[in-house]
Copies of this chain bind each other. A is one copy, B any other.
Amino acid sequence: MDEEHEISSLQERLITAMHDGDSDAASTLLPELHPAELAAAYESLPEEERAALLTLIPAESLPPFFQQLPASDAVSILGGMPDGPLANTLEEIPDDVLVDLLQEMEGFQRGHTFHLLSISRRRAARELLHYGEDTAGGRMTTAFASLQEDMTVREAIESLRRVADEAEVLSRIYVVDYEGLVLGKVRLRDLTFAEPDTRISAINDGDTRAVLASTDQEKAMRIMVKYDMLALPVLDDDGRLLGLITHDDALEIQEEESTEDLERQSGIAGDSADESYLNTPVFRHVRRRLGWIISLAFLGLISGGVIFSYQDQLSTVFALTIYLPMIVAAGGNTGGQAATMVVRAMSLGELTPGAFLRVAWKEFRVGLIMGVVLSACMVTQIYLFHPGFMKLEGALIGQFASTVGLALLMQITASTLIGAILPIGARAIKLDPAVIASPAITTIVDATGLLIYLNLARGILHLG
């Protein structure tokens, strides 16, 4: 891992130099660092050392540095820059990054920043700002090259040579007609190896797969994954080529979406933004987590009420309480597992809306088998080890074991089914399936589990 070591060591050395207040050492390191390393180092520094590092970064290195930084940090640095250098820096930032930054800015700073842009960039930015942050239009780069069908390969290469410095992707070049409609694409290698007099129409692959600018970014990413695409064309409502989503965007979208899914499933609301865990202030953490915790706590009182209302039964055979938390938790765990499986399958686009019954049938069987196995374990355990303090005797043991076993079987089967069905139901009413997060499912099946258990106890043990 020499290379790996070398990568991190440059970044580490810059951090150490800043900790030591050694500006000379830091300045010497800067030209060697990749912008991503510079940004990672900056992110891990405390406030004062960040400020010191900023004074060392040469003006021309700022635009790529801003591209790698979380938007909130980039915006706060931009806010402190004098107009002259700010205007120069803004000109060098690609359109899509600029729009991310504008979206992050408050009214006044946004207006001021707009004011510093050249007229053409102002127009481009204003157009991109129409698209939501999570849409294909909000993610696309507009720094792309296109070709016309009637060009020759020689003309195409000449036209690309002129824009090569600005274009982010040249590996796939889209062929458009005079109205901007996509006719297909050519690969750069096709141009490079073709005879100079070949017409573009002859090597155009005719692939017109594309998405609208309003398409959800996750959907766009799924298409790129499915078809192994290096870039995906983004169109306006009239089908004209507006921009491209590139392979690195796809990786970012996928990372964002997985983080969101993971967080939703633990009842964490809102957006992780692009700040790292440690750089997110305590109060923002609290704000994202507290809502669910409070709602679930009040919901949890229902379970308490159920137990309380079965006071008489529980007092008569207090040994019932030994198995109570286990039965309740087994429901939460199996329901959570089923929900995770189903939500993930939906995220990966595996489940069509029509699959509802197939999912329910599969999870019913999974729940039933797990219920039977766990039930058998616990019944055996009760027969073998019921200790004296439980004060169970003779015929009562059989009834007690039946109560626990049957409750467990019903609870696990029902919970597995509920865990699988609720996310599908959520999607049917246009909610994010992951919002029916596993803590919510757990809280619901807690109360149902208690009702099952305590009613069975009443019936089988002839209580109350």
Q: Contact: B345 with A321, CB < 8 Å?
A: no
Beta-carbon nearest neighbor of A263 in chain B: B340
> How far, in whole Å, are A294 and B408 apart by their CA atoms in the complex?
12
Beta-carbon nearest neighbor of A371 in chain B: B293
Q: Which listed residue, B192, B293, B341, touches A157 by the CB 8 Å rule?
A: B192
**A254: CB under 8 A from chain B?**
yes
Q: Contact: B4 with A330, CB < 8 Å?
A: no
Interface residues of A in 1-40 (CB under 8 A from B): 1-4, 7, 34, 36, 40
In whole Å, how far is A358's beta carbon from the nearest beta carbon of chain B?
6
**A344: CB under 8 A from chain B?**
yes
Q: Contact: B329 with A297, CB < 8 Å?
A: yes
Beta-carbon nearest neighbor of A389 in chain B: B308
In whole Å, how far is A120's beta carbon from the nearest beta carbon of chain B?
25
Beta-carbon nearest neighbor of A37 in chain B: B226
> How far, in whole Å, are A7 and B226 apart by their CA atoms in the complex?
11
Neighbouring B residues of A164 by C-beta, 8 Å: 189, 193
Q: Contact: B329 with A318, CB < 8 Å?
A: no
**A178: CB under 8 A from chain B?**
no
Q: Which of A215, A358, A439 has the most CB of B within 10 A?
A: A439
Q: Contact: B325 with A289, CB < 8 Å?
A: no
Stretch at the interface among A94-102, A106-114, A205-213: A205-213
In whole Å, how far is A87's beta carbon from the nearest beta carbon of chain B?
26
Neighbouring B residues of A34 by C-beta, 8 Å: 227
**A76: CB under 8 A from chain B?**
no
Contact flag A277-B188 (CB < 8 Å), given A290-B370, A337-B267: no
> How far, in whole Å, are A287 and B163 apart by their CA atoms in the complex?
56
Q: Which of A230, A250, A329, A359 has the most CB of B within 10 A?
A: A329
In whole Å, how far is A262's beta carbon from the nearest beta carbon of chain B?
6
Q: Contact: B326 with A304, CB < 8 Å?
A: yes
> How far, in whole Å, are A286 and B189 apart by their CA atoms in the complex?
49
Q: Which listed residue, B235, B254, B315, touches A255 by the CB 8 Å rule?
A: B254
**A427: CB under 8 A from chain B?**
no
Q: Contact: B443 with A329, CB < 8 Å?
A: yes
Neighbouring B residues of A86 by C-beta, 8 Å: none
Stretch at the interface among A49-57, A127-135, A217-225: A217-225
> How far, in whole Å, are A439 and B441 apart by their CA atoms in the complex?
13
Neighbouring B residues of A226 by C-beta, 8 Å: 36, 40
Stretch at the interface among A348-356, A394-402, A456-464: A348-356
Q: Contact: A278 with B224, CB < 8 Å?
A: no
Q: Contact: B193 with A3, CB < 8 Å?
A: no
> How far, in whole Å, are A36 and B252 apart by their CA atoms in the complex?
22
11 contacts between A and B (CB under 8 A): A250-B251, A254-B258, A255-B348, A262-B262, A289-B334, A292-B333, A293-B374, A304-B325, A308-B318, A329-B442, A333-B439
Known contacts A268-B337, A304-B325; 20 additional CB pairs below 8 A are A1-B212, A3-B208, A4-B219, A34-B227, A161-B193, A225-B251, A258-B258, A259-B344, A263-B340, A276-B345, A277-B342, A286-B369, A289-B370, A293-B334, A293-B370, A294-B373, A294-B377, A296-B333, A304-B321, A305-B322
